[in-house]
Structure 1
Amino acid sequence: MKYIIKENKMVLEKVNKMNLEELLNCIVCPNIVATQEDVTKAYFCFIHPNTYDNMKRKIENITSLNQHKMLFVTDMEAGAGSAIDGATRFPSMRAACEAGDENLAYLMGKAAAYEARKVGFHWTFGPCVDILGNHFSPMTSIRSASENKDDVLKYTAAYMRGLQDFGLIATLKHFPGDGYTMFDQHLTTSCNPLTKKQWDDSYGYIYQQFIHNGVKVIMAGHISLPAYDEKDSNGIYPPASLSYPLLTNLLKEKLGFEGIIISDATEMSGFCGYMNYYEACCAFFNAGGDCLLFAHPTEEFVDKMKEYIASGKLTMEVIQNRAYRMLCFLEEYVAQGNTLPENDKENFEIYANQMVDLSCKIYRDRNHILPIQLDKPLKIAHVVIACQYDFSLIEKFTKQLSSFASVDELRDPGCKKLKEIARSKEYDYIICSIGCFPWFGTNQITLSGVIARNMMNGWMKYETKVIFVDFGHPYIHEEYDAMIDTLIYTYGYANHTIDKVLSFIFKK
């Protein structure tokens, strides 16, 4: 059922009595980090990923200092473990799709909701409903379920149902759709290049279905959509977060969305690099947005908004309307109570393991070298050619490989060293952890810089057999098609991932 914010007379009376600073505290969602100012005046707060205990302590501390109700939010695009160290870790939304089990995506949402609410969260920025139209789009990769719109809808919708059925507010991102660009909106205003018909048949279809099925919040990305917009006076298309034609004409009027529109982070250059930061904040509200992510209502921020109101660039009516909508949204959530539903927490890790078992795969094995026979002592070189990896994962992989063979770990050894190793037959096998994880502000999803030079010299074609394992971006085979003969994909990682990879590599 379509979500519509419920009218609330008490909230309206409260808003009408607020001064500008109080109103602005209703329509920002600041992020709390150790070096930033107190956020206890705000009604919404983003907590960055950390340990279970640290996040719980932060939420409790802020709540105890606050005089009003608050909602806390973080990024949980595929389970709570991606943000909360100590919660159940699922591999990724792409893994949910590769597993081919819609119910597992739902259970991932259920687990995320329960574990997040135990910490004190009410809301998450997820799922990511971007379509991976360009396999090398730097910020999409395994965050997207698929390059197929129907798969994206199927698995992200199941995840959203799991979240919201168990009391955690979901957020679709990143409207009007990432995944077709080679640029990162953290660094620049990126562009969705689809025609009107292409957009209507893909992203438009996805957002329409979610709106009909009760999504409450949509995140406006710093992504332009020329098919539905016009150039500004500089001949540049604005990001959706600053575009009235995209937020109001397209999202609200054409698609019929009546829920909350939150911006992506305001510190991203796709937003504040397009125009002056304070002017952009003003433009977001005028475009139809409700809440600014990572904006802090400092004295300077309040003074700038006063200036814009005095000059007519912004009106108190707009600010009051956005504050009213956000507080009605908050009160609806508070009214549902905070009693955690019955759960099967003891099974959460089982669900994650099932997703790993169903999604991990031997993508190719041209020379039929898998599995390795354990009929003699083996010596293995574990080579690491990776960007933006969690190296605790690499250490764990090396340690578990050591249960099967004598292992030397070589990180970024260089192509000359690799050629020497491959030709010398010093090792029975080279197992190469390769690839890249999406990471903000890097504009990178492929091997790049000096790390990429490791792929020179043709070392993978000598006598020593090579097995490549990619824990991150699942299109390394397109970039190094001829060079990689044996390849295992995991589509992210969870606690069970390395066990599954080892079951492919070795015959027990």
Structure 2
Amino acid sequence: MRKRKTSRTAHLLNSIFLLTVLFLSSCQNNKTDADKRDKPDTSWESLTLREKIGQVVCLGYDKNQIMEAGNGSVDTFFMKYPVGAIFIANWVLGNYTTPDSLSQLYIKTVLELSKASKTPLLFSEDFETGMGNAMPNYTLLTAEMGLGATDSPLYASWFGDIIASELRSIGMNWILNPVADLNINPFNHLVNVRSVGDNPEKAARMLSEQVKAMQNQKLAATAKHFPGDGTDYINQHFNTSQMKLGYKEWQESYGKVFQKLIDDGIMAIMAGHISFPAYQKETLNGEYLPATLSPELLTGLLKGTFGFKGVIVSDALNMAGISGYYENQLETEMACFKAGTDILLWPSLEFIDTLEARILRKEISEERLNDAVSRVWNMKKKLGLFDDGYEVVKPVSEDLLVGHRSKATEIIQKSMTLVDNRNNLLPLDTLTSKKMLLCVVSDGDQQAAFTSLKEALQAKGFEVDIRSNLSFFSHGHELNNMAATYDKFIFAFYSNPANPWGSLDLRGEGALTVWSLNKLPHNKVISIAFGNPYENLGYMSRVWCRINCYSADKLSQKILVDGLTGNYEFTGVLPVEVP
């Protein structure tokens, strides 16, 4: 009996010993795998000088340019100009096909370029609201400010996950998004609905979840536009913008957002054509340089003080905000690189030839190039581009797309923000609000953009007339008759960054329409901002019913109508302060 018991004990001890060995071995293997992933990849050191220079170039895709420079061959192009990244703009590729076929052309283009390149390529685009606007078979998302209105980290994660899986399905592995700017100045017409809002804590919280979801699917994310846009009203496309905050105030706002994203491992940060007088000491011809040209801001502040180890990419080099500081575009590109930029967005091919010549002549340090290449190379490593079996194109199933659309619909619904509903003007019904006038307030005639809104209202049983603007000068004498004819007036304000280009403030016929709006009975008016929220917050303060809907796409319009008629409760939280 004792012998049997001793045998069982010995067997148990052996089992425990074996399990312990296996566990420790597994831990060691996991540690080794983690070490391999985290250890910097130095294989880039075997690249030729010209190949290294190619890694710091993100070429704007132009088929004609590639064929001309490559003597009619894509392979020859890459032999001459071994670029490491290509931005394939949907508005360029879309010229060669229809929206329904655009995704297939993306895949074909990505595979062709990948095959011709000796090193793995980064493929990038913006797609700030997903791919649905350009390709109807993919998912349409709300603007970033709509996401901010949900105040939900879960939805932020969904947002990033949807974008990542769909972009990977057409071969993109790097997105120039999200916008990490804060909308401090209501008159800034470039940031606006592209940002989460004006609260740095919310921005840091929401963007962090969005970035994690993107990068978990091997899509490199890019926070833009360092040191931060949104405090002045200058559009960087037209002129250099300026960070207006003091350094301490900046640290507690914009700096907090960027530092959070850096701490969480964001792979890239885009430098803006934005100066920062409160921090900068150096000037050129009496002017503070934009970040894209400033060693103080890129090498000193971002890489030094903030300890950013990822890739700094410039904003587009064709913008006026970086122009005029040096004698020509080529010298501007050279200065941008020397300032600490690791990837230049849309430089000339001449940049490659010139940088090579200047490094060989010892006019530019090769250490600067090596720093940039090592950063780019290690971002590619983190994305798995060097792994055996890496999928350049990672297909997405129709079932997954159906799930994406369901999540996008929920996000849009939760973003709808009821600013005012005095005396319970909503929900609308056909007994008290049968006949409506839908007036689109915009620069020019934009009625066609709101066909879905009109049709959705009609499907609910309302009679709807639609028109563009209602200038007081032209129609002021008709307002009393209109008030007697229509039960409700819906004023749809259509104003978004770059649509149209220029200021978002009211002007012309749109401004004169606000005059008419505020002369109508306030209990009959519903004011809806499709995009820029500030017109609704500032000019329509006496109107009984105001709603912020942060996008003007067809899906948002249909979801809005369900809210107007009481199918759901508005839960969106205003993401900006009332000016």
CA distance in 2, matches of 1:463, 1:472: 22
1:76 aligned residue (114, 127, 130): 127
1:44 aligned residue (82, 85, 96): 85
Q: CA RMSD in A?
A: 3.0
**Cα deviations by residue, 1:109-151 (Å, 9 ceiling, x for unpaired):** 1111111111111110111111111122111111111211000
1:32 aligned residue (43, 57, 61): 61
Q: Is the 8 A contact 1:63 1:70 kept in 2?
A: no
Q: Which residue of 2 aligns with 1:134?
A: 185
Q: CA deviation at 1:225?
A: 0.8
Q: CA deviation at 1:316?
A: 4.3
2:209 aligned residue (158, 177, 180): 158
Paired AA for residue 343 in structure 2: C
Q: CA deviation at 1:372?
A: 2.6
Q: Is the 8 A contact 2:436 2:488 kept in 1?
A: yes
1:411 aligned residue (460, 464, 468): 468
Q: Which residue of 2 aligns with 1:497?
A: 556
Q: Which residue of 1 aligns with 2:406?
A: 350
Q: Structure 2 matches for 1:211-360, cutoff 5 A?
A: 211-275=262-326, 276-297=328-349, 300-302=350-352, 304-305=354-355, 309=359, 314-333=364-383, 334-336=385-387, 337-338=390-391, 344-360=400-416
Paired AA for residue 403 in structure 2: N
CA distance in 1, matches of 2:463, 2:64: 46
Structure 1 residues 458 and 53, CA gap change in structure 2 (3 angstroms) = closer
Q: CA deviation at 1:33?
A: 4.4
Unaligned ranges ≥5, structure 2: 1-33, 68-73, 568-579
Q: CA deviation at 1:44?
A: 0.9
CA distance in 1, matches of 2:464, 2:531: 22
CA distance in 2, matches of 1:23, 1:301: 13
Q: Which residue of 2 aligns with 1:399?
A: 455
CA distance in 1, matches of 2:361, 2:513: 58
Q: Is the 8 A contact 1:229 1:245 kept in 2?
A: yes
**Cα deviations by residue, 1:3-43 (Å, 9 ceiling, x for unpaired):** x98533432112xx243xx4443211122246644486322
**Cα deviations by residue, 1:339-383 (Å, 9 ceiling, x for unpaired):** 679994432112111112211022113354322331278322211
Structure 1 residues 33 and 55, CA gap change in structure 2 (3 angstroms) = farther
Paired AA for residue 303 in structure 2: K
Structure 1 residues 13 and 484, CA gap change in structure 2 (3 angstroms) = same
Structure 1 residues 264 and 462, CA gap change in structure 2 (3 angstroms) = same
CA distance in 2, matches of 1:313, 1:421: 72
Paired AA for residue 48 in structure 1: A
Paired AA for residue 199 in structure 2: N
Q: Structure 2 matches for 1:112-191, cutoff 5 A?
A: 112-191=163-242
Moved more, 448-457 or 120-129: 448-457
**Cα deviations by residue, 1:427-454 (Å, 9 ceiling, x for unpaired):** 2222111141111893322223443232
Structure 1 residues 229 and 459, CA gap change in structure 2 (3 angstroms) = closer
Taking structure 1 as the reference length, what is the TM-score of the superposition?
Answer: 0.89
CA distance in 2, matches of 1:183, 1:233: 20
Moved more, 246-255 or 233-242: 233-242
SS of the aligned residue for 2:531 comes to coil
Q: Which residue of 2 aligns with 1:473?
A: 532
Kindly indicate which of the two structures has a greater share of residues assigned to helix: 2
Structure 1 residues 259 and 131, CA gap change in structure 2 (3 angstroms) = same
Q: Is the 8 A contact 2:142 2:551 kept in 1?
A: yes
Q: CA deviation at 1:77?
A: 2.8
Structure 1 residues 438 and 242, CA gap change in structure 2 (3 angstroms) = same
SS of the aligned residue for 2:244 comes to coil
CA distance in 1, matches of 2:64, 2:503: 28
SS of the aligned residue for 1:295 comes to coil
Q: CA deviation at 1:220?
A: 0.5
Moved more, 85-94 or 283-292: 85-94
Q: CA deviation at 1:507?
A: 5.5
Q: Which residue of 1 aligns with 2:21?
A: none
Q: How many residues align?
A: 501
Structure 1 residues 170 and 307, CA gap change in structure 2 (3 angstroms) = same
1:427 aligned residue (486, 490, 511): 486
Structure 1 residues 463 and 24, CA gap change in structure 2 (3 angstroms) = closer
CA distance in 2, matches of 1:120, 1:52: 17
Residues 1:57 and 2:105 are matched in the alignment: yes
Q: Is the 8 A contact 2:270 2:312 kept in 1?
A: yes
Moved more, 392-401 or 438-447: 438-447
CA distance in 2, matches of 1:306, 1:440: 40
Residues 1:378 and 2:434 are matched in the alignment: yes
Structure 1 residues 347 and 306, CA gap change in structure 2 (3 angstroms) = closer
Q: CA deviation at 1:491?
A: 1.7
Higher RCO (C-alpha 8 Å, min separation 6): 1
Q: CA deviation at 1:56?
A: 3.7
SS of the aligned residue for 1:169 comes to coil
Q: Is the 8 A contact 2:529 2:536 kept in 1?
A: no
Q: Which residue of 1 aligns with 2:30?
A: none
Residues 1:10 and 2:43 are matched in the alignment: yes
SS of the aligned residue for 2:525 comes to strand
Unaligned ranges ≥5, structure 1: none
1:446 aligned residue (505, 522, 525): 505
CA distance in 2, matches of 1:375, 1:440: 37
Moved more, 34-43 or 159-168: 34-43
